[in-house]
Amino acid sequence: MCDGGEMSLHDKVIFVTGGASGIGRATVNRLAADGAHVVVADMQVELAAEAVAQVTSAGGTAQVCELDVADHGAVAAAVAAIANEHGRLDGAFNNAGIGGPTAKILDIDPAEWARVTAVNLTGVFNCVQAEIAQMITQESGGSIVNTASIGGVVALPRAAAYTAAKHGVVGLTRTAAVEYGSRNIRVNAVCPGFIDTPMFASNAGASDEMRDRVAGVVPMRRIAGPEEIADAVAWMLSDQSSYLTGVAMPVDGGFTAR
């Protein structure tokens, strides 16, 4: 239960994949500001080091972990090394992901399908499996948050690979929650809507006109900042959400409510 810390994240050891950029980066900053020790795992190791430096200069603690989440053995080794170094793993934000091909199903290259599912779905499986293997050894259990998307709960036309992978993340999340709830391991998904990050800027938000069009289909009529996802994730990782598990929570300005 709540131990009196502001968000009850104080001294928790939390693993964040895709922590170098966008939503992951904002969450790294938020968790560190709340007193967690954050492991910034990313393929972009220089950017991850920059994220760690930012945390450190703000008075927090963090470390870099160079990692490709699609590599099962590397993920298992990374999580084991963190547990070995710190004695436990309290939380994880499995957030690394890539955009998929923008094409209808008939035009999707099978190699692109394979890459998107390898990172966005199998990558999350690799992390969840390694994290649960550690958390199951701890009486304190743990809290896992996976990044799905609005594409994890509704169709996003011309993005079938991405949408299928994100629906898969929701199914994996619910199954993990049911299988390991009795071990005090909570597993939830966050389903961001349109968020202003480098990924968004490189596709749906590539021009002002496109951004206006996207904002226009959101009930709140705007694109969100990555900090608005970080706030939700920090709560889901904290003891303040102690009875929340198996949930796929949209943070989308009302997009999936229509």
Residue 157's alpha-carbon distances to 105, 114, 150, in angstroms, are: 9, 18, 12
* Contact call for residue 108 and ligand NAI (CB under 6 A): no
* Contact call for residue 117 and ligand NAI (CB under 6 A): no
* Contact call for residue 66 and ligand NAI (CB under 6 A): no
* Contact call for residue 195 and ligand NAI (CB under 6 A): yes
> Count of residues binding ligand NAI (CB under 6 A)?
29
Q: Which of 186, 199, 194, 196 is nearest to 233 (CA)?
A: 186
* Contact call for residue 198 and ligand NAI (CB under 6 A): yes
Q: Using CB atoms within 10 A of its CB, is residue 139 exposed (0-12), middle (13-18) or buried (19+)?
A: exposed
Q: Which of 14, 31, 55, 67 binds ligand NAI (CB under 6 A)?
A: 67
Q: Which two tokens stand for residue 255?
A: 């997009």
- Residue 220 CB, shortest distance to ligand NAI, in Å, is 14
Q: Which of 30, 130, 90 is nearest to 242 (CA)?
A: 90
Give the active site residue among 15, 162, 194, 255: 162
Residue 243 annotated as catalytic: no
177 vs 230, beta carbon nearer ligand NAI: 230
Distance CA 153, CA 73 (A): 30
- Identify which range of 29-37, 56-64, 196-204, 234-242 contacts ligand NAI by CB under 6 A: 196-204
Q: Which of 60, 200, 241, 247 binds ligand NAI (CB under 6 A)?
A: 200
- Identify which range of 81-89, 103-111, 179-187, 198-206 contacts ligand NAI by CB under 6 A: 198-206
Point out the residues that are catalytic.
162
**Residues that bind ligand NAI in the complex, under the rule CB under 6 A:** 17-18, 20-24, 42-44, 67-70, 95-98, 119, 123, 147, 149, 192, 194-195, 197-200
